[in-house]
Structure 1
Amino acid sequence: MSAPEPARRECSVRITDLKTTPVAFPDPPLRNAWGVHAPLAFRTIVELTTDEGITGIAETYGASVGSVLSSESEPGQGPFAAARRVLIGMDPYHLNRIRILIPSPRVYQAVEIACLDIIGQAVGKPICDLLGGAVRDRVLFAAYLFFKYDGDDPWGEVNTPEAMVREAEMFVERYGFRTLKLKGGVLPPAEEVETIRLLRERFGPEYQLRLDPNAIWSVETSIRVAQQLEPYDLEYLEDPTWGIAGMAEVARRTAIPLATNMCVTRFEDIPQAVRASAVNVILGDHHSWGGLTAFQRLGHVCATFSLGMSMHSNTHLGLSMAAMIHAAAITPNLITACDTHYMWLQEDIIVGDMFRFEEGMLRVPTAPGLGVRLDRDKLARFHERYLKSQERMRDDTAAMRRRDPNYLPLRPRW
């Protein structure tokens, strides 16, 4: 006797609208290899509504130079306007079909998270439970240390190795971080080596140290500096130079593990990087790789090739923070501390309190769906700030040239 066919879910849920809201919020003058953060950062809030009255939310990039979202602020234009035409009338449960119809990973990821938020609210489960369940109830994060100019923030100017140690002390004291990541590529390499030396001297062997110069060094400089850094036992050196070939050359000349968020940014990049032995750790990011399911798949691929995995971050708000926590919670081999800019955030758009670090960790949301909701009053205020801003997209080089008209984003710089 043949087994009965499983019952199919009768679809009664349809997407009826997609809405995007660009927002702006204060950002400290954090320095990097391209220049400096401007006074305002930009993000895009995405909302999907169904015929059952459930609204799913997500967050993605704001416009930036060269961004796929740069035209999104123009009514009827941009990738989300195209996505809206695809999505109206579709079932939010049919994510495989939606992924085919929205090929851009950066657009699809926001749609996927909003759909998962809808499904989670409908069934009363957090997103992580929809993707196999969390393997940890708290996610470990790193203190993201930046050299910075003085600004309208509580941190003050940090432009010397000694000042960076004080910044790290404040982060450790306030939030309990045990991993310290230094955003490099700002000071001459010798000064950044000295910064790492002082951090190791101050915090001892129990703390993990990372350095990320955003591929601003030449191959030759990267090899020399990596060898100078070896006594300080870095967890990894992230993107010291540009490209898989350059990273492979550096990897052959140092014992420090190399990590990347710049030369491996798509699944198609992984075979070449593995063949070249260019990297030891890949930093995934659901915003650019294509959502939480893609992030989870990246974890499987890294495990297959015995690569370490970590998480990349950009300036973001609480909706992305919640999604990042879910991503880390469902990825068993993500055992290193994740990156986040959230400790630099001064205000958020979520209902209630901001996320609070405890011993350098954030708890996995347990409420249905994404686990956070939009504060409509804050959203309106953040959007109004965007509308009043003379700047509408991120450009770190332009922000730096307003401070120093002679500044050029040379690459390599050293």
Structure 2
Amino acid sequence: MKITAVESIPFAIPYNKPLRFASGEVHTAEHVLVRVTTDDGVVGVAEAPPRPFTYGETQRGIVAIIETIFAPQVIGLSLLEREQVRGRLARTMGNPTAKSAIDMAIWDALGKTLDLPVTELLGGFTDRMRVSHMLGFDQPAAMVAEAEKITDTYGIRTFKVKVGRRPAQLDTAVVRALRERFGDTIELYVDGNRGWTASESARAMREMADLDLLFAEELNPADDVLSRRWLVGQLDVPFIADESAPTPADVTREVLGGSATAVSIKTARTGFTDSRRVHHLAEGLGLEVVMGNQIDGQIGTACAVAFGSAFELTSRRAGELSNFLDMSDDLLATPLQITGGELAVSDRPGLGIEIDEERLTRYRLDN
């Protein structure tokens, strides 16, 4: 079970329409496929989705850091030496999705080697998760129409609404339109991507006080420390730390400092090894948890549902597992299927996914 190779393959797949939110917009999934190969010939895979406007990573940067620094550090280690891998990668600052993709590809290879699904190696709590769908910036009628389509086609009944525009009424009107259209048949929460100030956030939340929101996520910048604590004290719904809490240490700081009361776990930025640390920390602190999405493709989504379904806490709420629906294509030989508002976990070894080599050849950028 020795690691003999680590590959980083850049690829690009257009979105059907641009995804717009307060911290930027995305027109194409410019991701990196990471493959870990062992001396037994087993190949594990994962996906690194760079978000330069959030974490500073780029597609070229991920490829370069893996090829020049990370791959030489982990080649020769065993699939069981995941803490050794973590320690070696941690010597280099930043690069969360590059590190996480290597970690998850190792878990995938380990599952395949042991002939066990990764979700069972992690915890095996359930075999499926309810799905939450993200609605990006648009006019109220267009966002309601998208929610209707998603509900009718996939049975999804939980929606995360991107907010953070100015004036805030652009967004509060959308949330109100969704509630008026669907009543109490759907769950709603909002994500500001740090777009508003604390006072703008408080006013917007007061305007939506009658809309029965589940959560508010990252409404204002985390480094506005005093205002953030003040805002959290104004709210009667859990305040999710997302971009502000990418590591277990950040989660501790945000929660104990009074700047958040819930946490988003994104396997794309903490892999499986550090996501377990965040999960156990959240469990010990009594926090609510949402499985977040880094605008992952189907590979990343398979990782997220494998982890989320492994634990009772992470499977309690609908996970953000549908962003791949906005992509014009993907790399999997057998696409993921959302049915009845749920995404089932594969019972095959590892992550239970297989790369379509023809599609990879079509979309890869290093040919």
User: TM-score of the superposition, structure 2-length normalised?
Assistant: 0.91
Cα displacement string for residues 231-273 of structure 1 (whole angstroms, at most 9, x for unaligned residues): 1110011111111433321122232321121222221123332
Q: Distance in 2 between matches of 1:130 and 1:73?
A: 27
Residue 64 to residue 279, structure 1, CA distance change in 2 (3 Å)? closer
Cα displacement string for residues 14-72 of structure 1 (whole angstroms, at most 9, x for unaligned residues): 2211111000001221211134322x221111111112111111111247466345544
Q: Determine the structure 1 residue equivalent to 2:6.
A: 18
Instruction: Tell me the SS of whatever aligns to 1:24.
Output: strand
Cα displacement string for residues 58-113 of structure 1 (whole angstroms, at most 9, x for unaligned residues): 11124746634554477xx4244311111222212211111111115433322222
Contact 1:21–1:46 (CA under 8 A) maintained in structure 2? yes
Contact 1:230–1:256 (CA under 8 A) maintained in structure 2? no
Q: Would you tell me which structure has more helix in proportion to its own residues?
A: 2
State whether structure 2 residue 325 is matched by structure 1 residue 337: no
Q: Determine the structure 2 residue equivalent to 1:145.
A: 135
Q: Determine the structure 1 residue equivalent to 2:120.
A: 129
Q: RMSD of the alignment, in Å?
A: 2.0
Structure with max Cα Rg = 1
Q: Distance in 2 between matches of 1:331 and 1:287?
A: 17
Q: Determine the structure 2 residue equivalent to 1:5.
A: none
Q: Determine the structure 1 residue equivalent to 2:152.
A: 173
Contact 2:50–2:62 (CA under 8 A) maintained in structure 1? no
Counterpart residue type for residue 324 of structure 2? Y
Q: Distance in 2 between matches of 1:190 and 1:257?
A: 22
Contact 2:309–2:345 (CA under 8 A) maintained in structure 1? yes
- Partner of residue 214 from structure 1, selected from 193, 196, 211: 193
Q: Determine the structure 2 residue equivalent to 1:99.
A: 86
Contact 1:264–1:273 (CA under 8 A) maintained in structure 2? yes
Q: Distance in 2 between matches of 1:35 and 1:83?
A: 29
- Partner of residue 241 from structure 1, selected from 201, 207, 220: 220
Counterpart residue type for residue 174 of structure 2? T
Q: Post-superposition shift, 1:187?
A: 5.6
Contact 2:118–2:350 (CA under 8 A) maintained in structure 1? yes
Q: Which range moved further: 57-66 or 227-236?
A: 57-66
Residue 70 to residue 373, structure 1, CA distance change in 2 (3 Å)? closer
Q: Distance in 1 between matches of 2:331 and 2:136?
A: 24
Structure 1 gaps, min length 5: 1-12, 148-158, 389-414
Q: Determine the structure 2 residue equivalent to 1:32.
A: 21
Contact 1:69–1:79 (CA under 8 A) maintained in structure 2? no
Q: Post-superposition shift, 1:345?
A: 2.2
Residue 94 to residue 307, structure 1, CA distance change in 2 (3 Å)? same
Q: Determine the structure 2 residue equivalent to 1:67.
A: 56
Structure 2 gaps, min length 5: none
Counterpart residue type for residue 317 of structure 1? G
Q: Give 1:154-303 correspondences, 5 Å limit.
A: 159-186=138-165, 188-243=167-222, 244-289=225-270, 291-303=271-283
Q: Give 1:356-367 correspondences, 5 Å limit.
A: 356-367=337-348
Q: Distance in 2 between matches of 1:239 and 1:83?
A: 31
Residue 208 to residue 19, structure 1, CA distance change in 2 (3 Å)? same
Aligned residue pair count: 357
State whether structure 2 residue 312 is matched by structure 1 residue 312: no
Residue 14 to residue 270, structure 1, CA distance change in 2 (3 Å)? closer
Instruction: Tell me the SS of whatever aligns to 2:101.
Output: helix
Contact 2:129–2:309 (CA under 8 A) maintained in structure 1? yes
- Partner of residue 119 from structure 1, selected from 110, 115, 119: 110
Contact 1:31–1:186 (CA under 8 A) maintained in structure 2? no
Instruction: Tell me the SS of whatever aligns to 2:234.
Output: coil
